[in-house]
Amino acid sequence: MRRKFVAGNWKMHGSLAANEALLRALLAGLGNGYAAEVCVCAPFPYLAQCASLLAGSRIAWGAQNASQHDHGAYTGEVSAAMLREFGCRHVIVGHSERRALYGETDGLVAEKVSAVLAQSLVPILCVGERLEERESGVAEQVIGHQLDAVLSHCGIGAFAGLVVAYEPVWAIGTGRTATPEQAQAVHAFIRGRIAAHDAAIAQALVIQYGGSVKPGNAAQLFAQPDIDGGLIGGASLVAEDFIEIVRAAA
């Protein structure tokens, strides 16, 4: 049985005061009454704050990006080794906002996956199609290419150490969620693509759904056979909503 995994993607939101209130509310509200694995992915400057508030709890913390390089003259970049020093367990890689706004290509995303794995951290590899790609019937082709870039750069073994997040770009921050059936179909496609290389790795691969997951739709999404939890944006900033979503992943 695959574990359910719910991660919050705070994006560029938060402050010392707001994060402290949110994390204390999560710790108090979740208690021990949930089965899923939980992580919050915070902006870099707040990782030390997450470490100090969450150490010893069941809530892990992670980052939203990492450099493909180990160290060097890369002004403004942050390496996976640095993230490990701050206790991160997960790193979101290839989020559609980074692909669209910062020009991250399938090839660069694959290099980042490799850099994160090299530090024994768990990449949350984001894949997903844009609206025009879905409407023109090439969603699976696009997602296939995104996966193949990682397969060819890192090898199938990488998929034993990472999590995939399927995030249809048209569902992110729009309030327009994929239906459980639409999401399930793509999740099954992703698992099948990996199974063509290694059936056991595919069977164990955790595939999150992301894109306007809310307390009202989480349980139905998470009940699908190939949906193993969620990557949560907006709702991860509201303690009661995130708690409800985590509880829905029982």
Sign, CA torsion 71/76/80/86? positive
Question: For ligand PGA, which is the closer residue by CB, 156 or 180?
Answer: 180
Contact 73, 119 (CB under 8 A): no
d(CA 51, CA 33): 22
Using a 10 angstrom Cβ sphere, with 0-12 exposed, 13-18 middle and 19 or more buried, the burial of residue 136 is exposed
- In this structure, are strands 90-93 and 59-63 parallel, antiparallel, or unpaired? parallel
d(CA 219, CA 107): 34
d(CA 247, CA 32): 11
Question: For ligand PGA, which is the closer residue by CB, 172 or 205?
Answer: 172
129 assigned to active site: no
Question: For ligand PGA, which is the closer residue by CB, 7 or 53?
Answer: 7
| Catalytic pick among 37, 90, 95, 129 | 95
Report the nearest approach of ligand PGA to the CB of residue 95 (Å).
Answer: 6
13 assigned to active site: no
- Site mask for ligand PGA (CB under 6 A), range 174-213, x = bound: ------------------------------------xxxx
Considering CB under 6 A, how many residues would be counted as binding ligand PGA?
13
62: contact with ligand PGA by CB under 6 A = no
Angle between helices 180-195 and 139-154 (to 10 degrees): 40
Question: For ligand PGA, which is the closer residue by CB, 192 or 216?
Answer: 216
Q: Which of 37, 167, 226, 228 binds ligand PGA (CB under 6 A)?
A: 167
Catalytic residue IDs? 95, 167
Which parts of this chain interact with ligand PGA (CB under 6 A)?
A: 9, 167, 172-173, 210-213, 231-235
